[in-house]
Structure formats: C-alpha cells, structure tokens
Structure 1
Amino acid sequence: MSSLLRIRSQRDQMSAIERRIADFILDNAHLLRDYSSQQLANALEVSQSSVVKFSQKLGYKGYPDLKYAVGEDMARSDGQGDGAVEATGEGDRHAMLAETLWQAKSNAEQETRLLNPPETLDAIADAIHRARTVFVIGLGHDSIAARGFTLRLSEAGILAVFHFDPVLMPTSLANAGRDDVLVVFSEHGRRTSLCELSRLFRERIGAVISVTRHSANPLRAQADLALLVSGHDERSHIEQLLYQSALQHLLDLVFMLLCEHAEERMQLLDRNAARMRQLLET
C-alpha cells in the first residue's frame, strides 16, 4: 500500500493533531522532501515527537522513512505519467489522457475499497437483504447513482423505491416499518433536508445507510451504516469523474454481495435478463 493511501485510509482513526499532520502531507506531498521533522512540526505548531509518533503509527521506523516513502510515491506517479506519453507516442493526446484517467480511477477505487472493510459491506448487504422495503433518495448529481442502484435492487427482486424530493418522501413513509431501510446518497453529506430526513427515519422507523465522500459530515454521523467513497484531484472536473467511478465500483460490489445471499436472486436476474433480450429482439 502506498504511503499516501495508508495515510488517507487511516485518517478517520487519528487524533486531532495526527489529522493535522496527515492533511498537510496529503495536500503538500511534493513539498515534504524539503521539510525536516522539526520544520514540519514548526509549520504545524506541533511537537517534533508528534511527527515522529505519527510516522511510527503508520508503520515506519521514523519520519525519514515516511518522507522517503512519500517521495517514492510521488516519483512513481510522475514516472507513470511520463511512461504513458512515451508509450503512446508524442502528440497522441487522447491515448495519454485515457491512460492517465484510467490510473487515477484505479487509485480511487483502491482507496475506496480500503475505506470500506468487508464486515461493513457484509452488514450493509445483510440489512438490504432483510429489509421489507428499501427507500432510496438522492438529489441533483447524486440522483443518478441513486436511481441506478434502485433499479439494480429491483432487478434482483428487492422491493426498492426511489425518491428525489425529501419534502414529499415522508408521505410514502407512512406505512414504513422497523424492517425497512433508507439509503441516502449525498456526496458531501451536508444537505440539511437529507440530514433531517435521515434523523427522523432512524428515530421512528428503521436503519439508515449513508453514501458520501470519505469526510466528516453530518449525514454520515447520523447513519447506522456508511459507504465511503474516495476520489481526489486538484482539478474539479477530474475529481468528480473519480468520485463517480469509485462510487459505481462500490455499489457494484454491494450488489454482487446481495446476489450471493440467495440462489433465487441469481435465477430471478437471469429470467429478467432473458425477458429483456426477448423484448429487444421482437
């Protein structure tokens, strides 16, 4: 596992001081080679021993080993970019962009996989499997993934209902019960309406599953279970692509776990696929 990936995946379990160090390294990895442990400590207004302990907590002997590992990661990243240009030939801009984007998506999916341990994914799949009804909601861009996930659940024989308006949704929850589940898609997890809806659902009805970025946010804090997505890039349009790619990969994994819960679910999917082919061919 790369040093930066290790830092990002363990950030939530760190203390406030450790998170300050982690955030600086993640945001300024290319500058770390110019910092001694004392200089880094001074810049962050923490003790030098905090920097050393931070390095050791990540599994390194000390700060020099951490700095060396980060430097290797940066060099490897630069090398992959240069290789893409050389392999595709000068001027082949499309091939270079495709290779760079593929590598970035691969990294985002790997980070996302590490943020969602198997026991969490199993718990989420089991909650959906046991639910009488799965209510799904997502607004704006989040509605695209939410709607697609609802369709997948329906194809697998799970009663799933998609909503796009948190104001109207309480009406459909009138007959909901403790066995029901609410899945809330919100990239940044800060929409007040969705946070309030989640709070009410959890208090009065059933379990809430949040789907957000890997960040501290109120929606994630209120959920019983959380799916976390990683995808970072300085360019906003690329960062959005990485988020969507990693999110889809994560949802596909949950869907596969659901399919393995019951043999009849696989048979139902096969029958539905056969019906669709027949409709398209006639």
Structure 2
Amino acid sequence: MSPLLKIRAERDQMSAIERRIADYILENAHLLRDYSSQQLANALKISQSSVVKFSQKLGFKGYPDLKYSVGESIARGDGETNGSAEPVRDDPHAALAESLWHRKSQAEQETRLINPASRIDAIAAAIDAAGKVFVIGLGEDGIPARAFAIRLSLLDILTVHHFDPVLMAAGIAGASAGDVLFAFSEHGNQPALCQIGRQFRERHGKLVSVTRHTANALCTIADFPLLVSAHDERAHIEPLLYQSALRHLLDMIFVLLCERGERLAQLDGNLERIRAMLEH
C-alpha cells in the first residue's frame, strides 16, 4: 500500500498540524530522504514529537520507516504527488487527458483504500435482501443518486427515489425492517437528510451515507458509511475527481449485485425491453 496514497486518503481526518505535515510530505516526497525528523520539524516550525506521532498514526514504527516507505513508493512510481503524469506526446490535449486520468485514478485508489471490501459486500447484501431501497440526494448530489436508483431498478430492485426531503419523509413512512436508504450528501451536513436518516433507522432500516471522507453528521449515524476521497487545489478539477471516484465506488456495488442470483438475467431482460421500446 503506497504511503502517499494513504496520506492523501486520511488527510481530511487529520488535525491541523497533521495536515501541515501531510501536505509538506506530499509536495516534497522526492526530497524526504534528505530530511531527518528534526529537520522536517524545523521546516514546519513544529515539534519533533509531532512528526514521530504522525508517522506512528499512519501505522509506521517511526519517521525513519515512513521515510523509507515513501522512498520505495517513489522508486516504484506509486502515488505521484505533482498532480500529473509525464505526457508521452506533445499534443496539449493528450497531456491534459493524461493528467486528468492520472488524478482520477489516484482519487479512485484513495477511495478504495478507505472503504473496506467487507463494507462493500455488506452493502450489496443489504440491498439484495431489502424489500425496498430508498434513494435521495439534494442539489448536485441528486445526479448520482438518480443514476444509481435507475441502475437498481434495472435489476428489478424496488427503488423509491426522491430529490425532495419532504417527499422522502412521507415515503419512508412505508419503510419496513431490512429496507435500505441511500442518502447522498457530499459534505454530509444537511439537517433534513440527517433527520430522515434517523427516522429511517427508527423503523429498523439500514442507512447508507454517501459523503466525502470527512467528519460529518450523516456518516456518523449511518449503518454503512460510503466515503469518497478526492482532493485537488484547483476548484474546477476537484468536483470531477469526486464524481469519478464516487461513480467507481457505486459501480463496484452494482457489479456485485449483478453477480447475485438471477440479477444479471433480470438486467438483460429489462435492457432488451427498453431497446425494443426505443426502436419503435
């Protein structure tokens, strides 16, 4: 596991001092081999013990182990920190495409790292066993929510999708034990969704939150928090990374569902009926 990927994935959960250390390492990873823990501390104007504790929090015995692991990662070409891959052509569009693909790939790796396979399997099992799956997302979060709801419907999973919290509050009145609610909220701090989530859990339903990998109210109350890690200093790039990593995460759940029982045959049948409708 690349230490640079781990640092990026865990950054949003770090304290202010830890984020300063993380950012410095990510930006100067190729220089880290020349730094002792004291020199790194001096560069950041923090205590040496803060550097040591940071290393241990990441699972290393100390700073030397972290430094060695980062050096190995760079030698392998893992987790580059400059935000772009070296373009193989001079075409400016090719360079842009390669850079964007590289950043999306990093975001997907980070996101996969913080969502254990056991959690993904448990979510797929809960959906498969549910009588109904409720899906809600407000504003821009409504776009991936709607796409996911459609995909579930194509698998013959009874799906109730709303983009209005009032309508969803009314909808979950008919929820039963074992039903599943997917609540999409990038930052996880919308009071209405948190209230709906609590009401749903009172009915013994399973709440799946879909948020960034930050401390937020929605993922705190969820049975299964799905977390997305996507970071970039450029305001126009970061949302693209978030959407890409989120889509990849949801695609994994969809593929797992397709491989359960008769779901794939149900998908094929529904797609065939849709094609027949479009051809007439």
TM-score range, shorter chain: 0.7 to 0.9
Corresponding residue number in structure 1 for 2:86:
83
Distance across 1 between alignment mates of 2:178 and 2:82: 52
Unpaired segments ≥5 residues, structure 2:
none
Matched-pair contact (CA < 8 Å) for 1:30–1:74: no
Counterpart residue type for residue 281 of structure 1:
E
- Cα drift, residue 204 of structure 1: 3.5
Distance between the aligned counterparts of 1:269 and 1:244, measured in 2? 24
Question: Residue 269 of structure 1 is aligned with which of 251, 255, 267?
Answer: 267
The residue type paired with residue 184 of structure 2 is: F
Q: How far is 1:60 from its partner? A: 4.7
Give the letter aligned to residue 146 of structure 1.
Answer: A
SS in 1 for 2:165: coil
Tell me what 2:241 maps to.
242
Q: Secondary structure at the match of 1:177?
A: coil
Aligned equivalent of 2:152: 153
Match of 1:24 in 2: 20
Counterpart in the other structure of 1:212: 211
Structure-2 separation of matches of 1:246 and 1:95 = 21
1:199 aligns with 2:193: no
Deviation of the 1:45 alpha carbon: 4.7
Say which structure, 1 or 2, has more relative contact order (CA 8 Å, 6+ apart): 2
Cα deviation, 1:101-154, whole Å, max 9, x if unaligned, reads 011111111111111111000111111111111110001111000000000000
Residue pair 2:230, 2:238 contacting (<8 A) in 1 also: yes
Q: Is the 8 A contact 2:85 2:99 kept in 1?
A: no
Instruction: Write the letter of the residue equivalent to 2:63.
Output: Y
CA distance in 2, matches of 1:78, 1:170: 44
Structure 1 residue 229 displacement after superposition? 0.8
Contact 2:85 2:98 in 1 (8 A): no
Give the Cα separation in 2 of the matches to 1:141 and 1:103. 24
* Greater helix fraction, Structure 1 or Structure 2: 1
Matches within 5 A, 1:1-282: 1-9=1-9, 19-20=15-16, 22-28=18-24, 29-31=26-28, 33=31, 36-38=36-38, 40-41=40-41, 43=44, 45-46=46-47, 48-56=48-56, 58=58, 60=60, 62-67=62-67, 69-70=69-70, 77=80, 81=84, 83-84=86-87, 87-89=88-90, 92-262=91-261, 264-282=262-280
Total equivalences in the alignment: 272
Pair 1:199–1:272, CA change in 2 (3 A): same
Label 1:143 to 1:170 Cα distance change in 2 as closer, same or farther (>3 A).
Answer: same
Aligned residues: percent identity?
58
What amino acid does structure 1 have at the position aligned with 2:276? Q
- Distance in 2, matches of 1:124 and 1:181, equals 9
CA contact (8 A) 2:83 2:103 kept: no
RMSD: 2.8
Measured in 2, the distance between the counterparts of 1:265 and 1:70 equals 43
Contact 1:21 1:51 in 2 (8 A): no
Q: Is the 8 A contact 2:84 2:102 kept in 1?
A: no
Letter in 2 for 1:194: L
- Do the aligned residues in 1 keep the contact of 2:180 with 2:206 (CA within 8 Å)? yes
Amino acid at match of 1:124: I
Taking a change above 3 Å as real, the CA distance of residues 78 and 206 of structure 1, as seen in their structure-2 partners, is: closer
Question: Structure 1, unaligned stretches of length 5 or more?
Answer: none
Q: Offset of 1:267 from its aligned partner?
A: 0.9
Q: 1:8, 1:22 within 8 Å by CA — same for their partners in 2?
A: no
